[in-house]
Amino acid sequence: MIDDNPFVTDRELTRQLKVSIQTIRLDRMELGIPELRERMKQMAEHSYDQVRSLSLEEVVGDVVDLQLDKSGISMFEIREEHVFSRTKIARGHYVFAQANSLAVAVINDEIALTTSADIRFLRQVHLGEKCIAKAYVRSHAAQKAKVEVFTYVGDEMVFQGNFVVYRSTGE
């Protein structure tokens, strides 16, 4: 299951396999499978190009895969500071910021800026949920790239955006 979805948490595995968290952790240790944070760190270190248009600190979420001018993946956990205090629902600008910064980060250029975005929020995101954003460069020409971003919580799509990104070189 972890091979199929490296972002799956121990808690999600307990629900799917109907076993205790201790069983998951012991089995994972026995099989030499690191915990989620370590798996993400390893993916980030080994499987992506360097972001050119932003510093990694400017990307909202953790970039775990990046192939410039092709695709990218980031993960963003919704924490207390990202939600409305009364409802514990994520403020939309954080979900948008993850998608927007990934759309810019995937562009292979020193300067990349969003010129327009057509976005849809498909459902609310709640405190503690992990947003996985996947960006795909659909076309790039004449100093503009079209980037499509889908954000998921588990298998459910929660956000979709079509971004037009200005690139300084037009390559």
Both structure tokens of 78: 């919704």
Q: Which pTM was predicted? A: 0.74
Asked whether residue 95 falls in the same domain as residue 124, the answer is: yes
Say what the pLDDT of residue 43 is.
66
112-121 sheet: strands from edge to edge: 62-67, 71-77, 130-141, 144-153, 156-167, 112-121
Cβ burial, residue 97 (10 Å; 0-12/13-18/19+):
middle
Asked whether residue 22 falls in the same domain as residue 65, the answer is: no
Asked whether residue 132 falls in the same domain as residue 73, the answer is: yes
Asked whether residue 53 falls in the same domain as residue 137, the answer is: yes
Asked whether residue 86 falls in the same domain as residue 12, the answer is: no
Asked whether residue 38 falls in the same domain as residue 100, the answer is: no
Q: Which domain holds residue 148?
A: 48-167
Asked whether residue 27 falls in the same domain as residue 101, the answer is: no
Whole-angstrom distance, CA of residue 163 vs CA of residue 171 = 18
Among residues 86, 156, 145, 93, the alpha carbon closest in space to that of 123 is found at 156
Along the 171 residues of the chain, how does pLDDT read in single tens digits?
A: 888 777 788 888 898 999 998 998 899 888 888 887 777 766 665 555 567 777 767 889 988 888 899 999 999 999 999 999 999 999 999 999 999 999 999 999 888 999 999 999 999 999 999 999 999 999 877 789 999 999 999 889 999 999 999 998 755
Asked whether residue 140 falls in the same domain as residue 158, the answer is: yes
Among residues 120, 109, 123, the alpha carbon closest in space to that of 154 is found at 123
Based on the structure, what is the number of domains in the chain? Answer: 2
Say what the pLDDT of residue 66 is.
87
Asked whether residue 54 falls in the same domain as residue 129, the answer is: yes
| Residues forming beta bridges with residue 74, ordered by sequence position | 63, 133
Among residues 56, 45, 41, the alpha carbon closest in space to that of 6 is found at 41
Backbone angles phi, psi at 71, to 5 degrees: -160, 165
Say what the pLDDT of residue 170 is.
52
- Domain containing 126 — which CATH number? 3.10.129.10
